[in-house]
Amino acid sequence: MDTNGSMDNGETEQHTQHHQQQQPAFDNVDITSPDEENENDIFESAIQQEPLSPVLEDVPTDEAGDTFIEIAVADPQKVGDGMGSYLAYKVSTKTNIMKFKKRQFFTMRRFSDFLGLHDLLVSKYLRMGRIIPPAPEKNIIGTTKVKMGSQPQSEPGNGVNLEWIENRRASLERFLNRVAQHPILCLDTDFVNFLESDQELPRAVNTAALSGAGVMRLFNKVGETVNKITYKMDENDPWFNDKINEVETIDAHMQKLHSAIKALVSHRKELATLTGGVAKSAALLSTCEEHTGLSQALSQLADVEEKVELLRSEQANSDLYILSETIKDYIGLFGAIKDVFHERVKVFQNWQHAQLQLTKKRENKAKLELQERRDKLEFAQKEVEEWEGKVQRCQKEFDDISSEIKKEMERFELARARDFKSTIIKYLEDQMAHQQQQMRYWETIVPVARDIA
């Protein structure tokens, strides 16, 4: 490995083999097979997910094959002590896109770097009508616990094992991969630098939750929200009316589904805990039972209940990491779509303002002509020409953002269908594998119960 974090060919093969060994086995499990040796593979953590379906198009590569870029975020490590500490993540990339200098590399990034990248992309592309994948939300309580904890600095590969940190790590990985699958955003200089540079990025201080800039952004967001509610655009394109209504409807139902899945996760975890209580009680009862056959059956029951407890915990993880987090991501993405639609409204407002100003300038020029104020006519004519140019530019910007939004929505819908198909299949296979394993567990106790004399 060189000093920039790239890998030579030998290390690349080893890394690839190691990566393949760590892939979740749900997709390759024969759920009808009773072999016990597959047991551990079946119930690997559902946190690890397949990369998002590629939707890159017309991106130059150095190979004759399809374009690909795969990004993994791993090994969260606490850096420093006290309130000045932070978590850093290892961001590993594999790609054949020629924009990147190397084919495989990694770097270390902190959470504020991800937020800074998102802000840069929004500032450059939102005005063009591009859908920018949202960055994960801050978690002030969780961050403070990590900062104030007595946990020492983590060695590479021994990340801080807290549930919210794992959720954040997975969210950061999905955020980067969604950006990477966009044919324009993946070639952005700031995005390439974020992935490829081994240098520390400029501190994105405005991403701090309690900073002055953060407070100003909060007020700006409130103003934007009020503007969205109070200003109604006279829409001439029925496509946008239909699409806005469709987005609002899907978003509302997704939020309801997300709430229902969160409740399901909570109930599954509670059921797993109660199952563990049954296992302990049955084990205690088996120790004081004088009847040998009944004692053995109770002991076997305790063992099965203990295994079922683990299965139900795994099912809760499946609900959370496979299904719930995907729904949560798309709630954020629909929020990003609403931002794009609102940006179009702002462009329309600018166009209308320019037209209003042009009308005033023309009226002013007409008055000067009636008054024969030739000393001011030349200046008035220049103002009219200036605002005519502004009107033309604003109209072009409005037409461009309207056209781009339609293209973005088409790309988004195709990607969403592929993403949900992959997610649902993975979730169903995972649930079926758990149910098959649970049946095998219960089948082992039936002969013991029948042998009770």
Of 122, 114, 21, the closest CA to residue 336 belongs to 122
Comparing CA positions, the residue from 169, 50, 55, 132 lying closest to residue 416 is 55
- 30 is written with which tokens? 């024969």
CA pair distance 251, 69, nearest whole angstrom: 29
CA-closest candidate to residue 105, choices 219, 11, 200: 11
Question: SS3 of 20, please?
Answer: helix
Task: Look at residue 36 and tell me whether its pLDDT is greater than 80.
Answer: no
67-147+161-205 and 236-452 share one CATH topology?
no
Which among 259, 403, 408, 400 is positioned nearest to 337, based on CA atoms?
Answer: 408
Find, among 169, 167, 174, the residue nearest to 53 by Cα.
174
Distance of CA 365 to the CA centre of its chain: 54
Q: Which two tokens stand for residue 315?
A: 């099912």
CA 8 to the chain's CA centroid? 31
Once rounded to an integer, what is the mean pLDDT over residues 22-44?
Answer: 41
* Mean pLDDT value across residues 73-102: 88
> What pLDDT does residue 140 have?
66
336-345 pLDDT, tens digit each:
999 999 999 9
SS3 state of residue 183: coil
CA 307 to CA 445: how far, in whole Å? 12
pTM score of the predicted model:
0.77
Fold classified for 236-452: Substrate Binding Domain Of Dnak; Chain:A; Domain 2 (1.20.1270)
Name the helix (H) or strand (E) containing 161: none
**Number of other CB atoms surrounding residue 130 within 10 Å:** 22
The 10s digit of each residue's pLDDT in 398-443 is 999 999 999 999 999 999 999 999 999 999 999 999 999 999 999 9
Q: What is the pLDDT of residues 142-200, one digit of tens each?
A: 566 665 565 534 444 444 446 778 889 999 999 999 999 999 999 999 999 999 998 88
pLDDT in tens, 250-288: 999 999 999 999 999 999 999 999 999 999 999 999 999
Q: Structural domain boundaries of the chain? A: 67-147+161-205, 236-452
Of 304, 312, 297, 242, the C-alpha closest to 449 is 297
For residue 54, name the pLDDT band (cuts at 50, 70, 90).
Answer: very low
Q: Is pLDDT above 80 for 61?
A: no
Q: Which fold has domain 67-147+161-205?
A: PX Domain (3.30.1520)
| Confidence grade of residue 121 (pLDDT, cut at 50, 70, 90) | very high
d(Cα 79, Cα 90) in Å, to the nearest integer? 13
pLDDT value at 101 more than 80: yes
SS3 state at 77: strand
Q: List the one residue out of 313, 310, 315 whose CA is nearest residue 279.
A: 310
